Structure 1
Amino acid sequence: MIRSLRWKFIWLAMLSLLGTMTVLCVSIGVGNHWITTRRVDRAISLLHQNGGTFLPPGVTFDPSDFEFQVTPETAFETRYFIVELTEQREVKAVDLEHIAAFDRHSVTETISKVIQTGGSRGYVDYYRFGLFPSEDGGSTMIVMDCFLMLQAADNMLRITVIIFCVCALIVFLLLLFFSGRAIRPFAENLERQRQFVTDASHELKTPLSILSADLDLLSDSCGESRWLGSARTQIARLDKLIRNLVELARTEETIREGASEVFSLSDIALASAEVFAPLAEAEGNTLAAEVAAGVELRGVQDDLFRLFSILLDNAVKYCDAGGTIRLSVSQRGRTVRLSVSNPCAGLNPAQLPRYFDRFYRADSSRSRTTGGYGIGLSTARAIVARHRGRLTNHYANGIITFTALLTQVNEKRGNTSGSRGFL
């Protein structure tokens, strides 16, 4: 459990970091591209306003223009060409003085691509264009080479992504190193709680044994009475409760290395069904089992026996009269699905998540009749979690179903095909 909690802490921290850094990287990339496009559009607008040049004779640059600052060197650094179009979008004049990468043929192809976009501004490859209407009904097209600026924006994004990956790796290593210290207080408190339950159970067993012996002596000397019978019943209930608490504390512990083994879950399911079938029939119900053959798991075999016992015992106790309890064990890939269902009318679906809480009983009067303490399902969930699985419940059409999903081991023994079952 502590190991699982530690990894949950690491992954939650990493997901928070990755989400934040991803938003940051996307913001930097999109923002940088937007700034680049805005500067180019400003440059194209200046060229159109100044008749195809950045600095007309006698005009000095304005250093307060933050979008695109024009200097005496701007005309030599910026590559562009200008095309005059007629009203029918035919080429009337082409100015290639400020660019060397284009000839008449490549200019014609670029003009066709620009016209096909249907917009007044946009990109064609790594060229940015602006289309402005002319007084004679035609239009002026200014196309600027943005390769260096777009490449700078892409390089900035790449550097940001690389820094992001390096930072994520560093944070992951730091979390891996310090997470043990972060959850150490919780682990110590949990261990103290388990130790307290174990110690308290041993301390309580002694007075209970003494009380039970005293009741036997009183019975021999004074004879049986309903008060002595009631006292014996309460002592038995306390003894059972203590054993359940000890079992719950034990099942919440991580499986120690060497304590697990490979066993047949199919055999355990069938053996459990054979035990509880007569109990179900005694209550006027039926137990139907459908178990796939050859399903194996690695874990603690006694824990899985206990899991089946808890789920089947719960189903027998709370099944509606004349109902059918269904036990199913199936496999899909490496995932083993174990489910127990029974009809139980009148349940409140809003209470289903609380069924796994300790000492929670949806119907306390019925639980007293059946002898329940509200610990069984907590123990079942702890057993499944101990084997790195997940136990859930579902209620629909008057039938409640408890489903455990477990991961099968890689090694195989025997035949995994076919199924066995009985009614």
Structure 2
Amino acid sequence: MIRALRRRFLLIAMASLAGTLTLLCLAINLGYRHMLTQRADAAVEMLHQTGGAFQIPDAPVDPAAHGGFQVTPETPFETRYFIVHLTENREVTEVDAEHIAALDRQMVVEWVGNILDGGKHSGYTSYYRYGVFAEPDGGTTIVVLDCFLQLQGAGGVLRISLLAAGVCLLTVFLLLLLLSRRVTRPFVENLERQRQFVTDASHELKTPLAIISANTGLLSASLGENQWLESTRAQVGRLDRLIQNLIELARTEEALPDEAAAPVPLGRVAERALEDFRPLAEAAGKTLDGRIEPELVLPGVEDNLARLCALLLDNAVKYCDEGGAIRLTLARRGRWAVLSVSNPCAGLDAAQLPRLFDRFYRADSSRARSSGGYGIGLSTARAIVARHHGRLTARLSGGTVTFTAVLPLFSRPPERFLHR
């Protein structure tokens, strides 16, 4: 559970940071690209209005004055562009290509054809920004500006921002990995105190219950049997079983030390549980069968896994519809063992599924009480699965509820556990 909590904490924190950095990178790069496009459009507009020449300002320009396009004495020499004039019938009448060296007249005419075929008033074609302007005489003027250096700069900003975001993600991940244990420590300590309290309280309750049980026996011997003594004896037995279940739940929620894990032949464990519960199911007018893959060995505690099978089968027998069929399956799925127990349960609502693993929750309290249930069996089953680094889920389909435990297998099971 603690490992799952740390993983969930890391996942949420990294997902939040990744989303924030993604939005930041998008804002920076889209904003920078928009700014470059606005400057290019301003330059194209100026060239159209001035007939293909930049007007040099008399006063010196300040680069920090504003972010728009500004003309300096060097602008005519560092800006590459060409201008084409066309008639109303799209015939080229004049080409001004003196300010660009990469294209000759024939290539300029081809570029103009591509621009006109696009049908747009402005846009990019390759790394050129163009503007199409309608003239009063019905003709058209096309101004095309070379933006290679600007777009190359935008690409550099994109690469730098992505690299910076990646470094930030890696740095924060390493820091969280180191600090997550400290962040989750209060929760771990609180959980340990709760477990210790349940264990201590359960043990403390055993003594007065034993005294009450002994006194009830003495009263029964001296006064004879009556309904009050019988009721007291029944409630003492019920409390004793509840205490045992609480102690079991507290123990199964403890982390499983590596040295305590041993190879467990889950197939044989499931077979024994199936044989033990088949008479109980038949006595209740229900059928129980299974399909078990035998050679599945996983690391864990055999008693815990036997208890897991017993809890799932006990739950199925108690809550299966009258005359229903209970089915247990165990199969391999890649590196995982998948243990499923299903039974028809028409009275179960799908909205109740998330709460079935809550402690003391009973979907049908009247049936649970009549069958002796306390509402912590599935909580214990989930704790056992979590202790073995797996997951337990519930699914309702067509009136049939299925509990599925997915547990990690050995990558290479020891030979002595396969053929003994």
Normalized against structure 1, the TM-score is what?
0.92
- The equivalent residue for 1:389 is 390
Q: Deviation at 1:136?
A: 3.6
1:347 aligns with 2:352: no
Structure 1 residue 35 corresponds to structure 2 residue 35: yes
Structure 2: 5+ residue stretches without partners: 416-420
Q: What's the CA shift for 1:133?
A: 1.9
Deviates more, 1:289-298 or 1:313-322: 289-298
| Aligned length in residues | 415
Query: Post-superposition shift, 1:294?
Result: 1.9
Which stretch has the larger CA shift, 341-350 or 352-361? 341-350
Letter in 1 for 2:392: L
| 1:193-244 Cα distance to aligned partner (Å, 9 max, x none) | 1111111111111222222223333333333333322222111111111111
Aligned to 2:156: 155
SS of alignment partner, residue 312 of structure 1: helix
Matching residue of 1:3: 3
Whether 1:119 aligns to 2:120 is yes
Quote the offset at 1:3 in angstroms: 2.2
Equivalent positions of 1:110-149 (< 5 A) are 110-149=111-150
> Structure 1 residues 152, 237: CA separation in 2 closer, same or farther (over 3 Å shift)?
same
Structure 2 residue aligned with 1:323: 324
Deviation at 1:245, TM superposition (A): 0.6
Q: Distance in 2 between matches of 1:259 and 1:394?
A: 32
Q: Which residue of 1 aligns with 2:94?
A: 93
CA contact 2:249–2:383 (8 Å) conserved in 1: yes
User: Distance in 2 between the 1:187 and 1:2 partners?
Assistant: 7
Q: Is the 8 A contact 2:298 2:413 kept in 1?
A: no
1:268-279 → structure 2 map (5 Å cutoff): 268-279=269-280
Q: What residue number does 1:419 align with?
A: none
Assess if the C-alpha contact under 8 Å between 2:130 and 2:142 holds in 1. Answer: yes
**Greater alpha carbon shift after TM alignment, 288-297 vs 375-384:** 288-297
Do residues 401 (structure 1) and 402 (structure 2) align? yes
Deviations 1:149-197 (A, max 9, x none): 1111221222212221222222112212222221111111111111111
Instruction: Give the 5 Å matches for 1:170-209.
Output: 170-209=171-210
- State the alpha-carbon separation in 2 of the partners of residues 411 and 183 from structure 1: 34
Query: Residue 362 of structure 1 aligns to a residue in which SS?
Result: coil
- Indicate the SS of the match to 2:258: coil
Q: Is the 8 A contact 1:55 1:61 kept in 2?
A: no
1:328 alignment partner, SS class: strand
- Quote the Cα distance in structure 1 between the aligned partners of 2:75 and 2:396: 73
- d(CA) in 1 for partners of 2:241, 2:136: 98
Give per-residue Cα distances to partners, 1:229-284, cap 9 Å, x unaligned.
22221111111111111111111111111111222222221111111011000001
Matched position secondary structure for 1:388: coil
* Displacement after TM superposition at 1:138 (Å): 2.9
Distance 2:109 2:412 in 1: 67
1:16 aligned partner, one-letter code = S
Given that 1:384 and 1:391 are in contact with CA atoms closer than 8 Å, whether structure 2 keeps it comes out as yes
C-alpha distance in 2 between matches for 1:135 and 1:59 = 31
Task: Give me the whole-angstrom Cα distance separating, in 2, the residues matched to 1:108 and 1:388.
Answer: 69
How much identity, in percent, do the aligned residues show? 57
Stretch moving more, 13-22 or 353-362 = 353-362
Give the aligned residue type for 2:52: G
Query: What's the CA shift for 1:365?
Result: 1.7
Which residue of 2 is the match for residue 368 of structure 1? 369
**Structure 1 residues 60 and 110: alpha-carbon distance in aligned structure 2, compared to 1, 3 A threshold:** farther
Taking the TM superposition and a 5 Å limit, the aligned residue runs for 1:17-32 are 17-32=17-32
Partners of 1:155 and 1:62 lie apart in 2 by 26
Measured after TM superposition, the shift of residue 45 of structure 1 is 0.6
The one-letter code of the counterpart of 1:11 is L
Give the conservation status (yes or no) of the 8 Å contact 2:32–2:154.
Answer: yes
Per-residue CA deviations over 1:308-336 (Å, capped at 9, x if unaligned) read: 11110011111111111111122222233
Following superposition, the deviation at residue 338 of structure 1 comes to 1.9
1:333 equivalent in alignment to 2:330: no
SS in 2 for 1:274: helix
**Contact 2:343–2:400 (Cα < 8 Å) also in 1:** yes
Question: Which moved further from structure 2: 102-111 or 47-56?
Answer: 102-111
Match for 2:319: what amino acid? Y
The answer for the alignment partner of 1:217 in structure 2 is: 218
Contact 1:122–1:129, Cα closer than 8 Å, also in 2: yes
- Contact kept, 8 Å, 1:61 with 1:70, in 2: the verdict is no
Secondary structure of 2:83's match? strand
Q: Using the TM superposition, give the Cα deviation of residue 363 of structure 1 relative to its aligned residue in structure 2, in angstroms.
A: 1.8
**2:44 equivalent in structure 1:** 44
Distance 1:115 1:389 in 2: 63
Distance in 1, matches of 2:178 and 2:202, equals: 37
Residue pair 2:83, 2:96 contacting (<8 A) in 1 also: yes
Please show how residues 289-300 of structure 1 align to structure 2 within 5 Å.
289-300=290-301
TM-score, normalised by the number of residues in structure 2: 0.92
Residues 61 and 69, structure 1, Cα contact 8 Å, conserved in 2 = no
Question: C-alpha deviations, 1:56-79, integer Å up to 9, x for none?
Answer: 7x9879877752112222212211
Q: What is the DSSP-based 3-state SS (H/G/I as helix, E as strand, rest coil) of the residue aligned with 2:322? A: coil
Q: CA deviation at 1:382?
A: 1.2
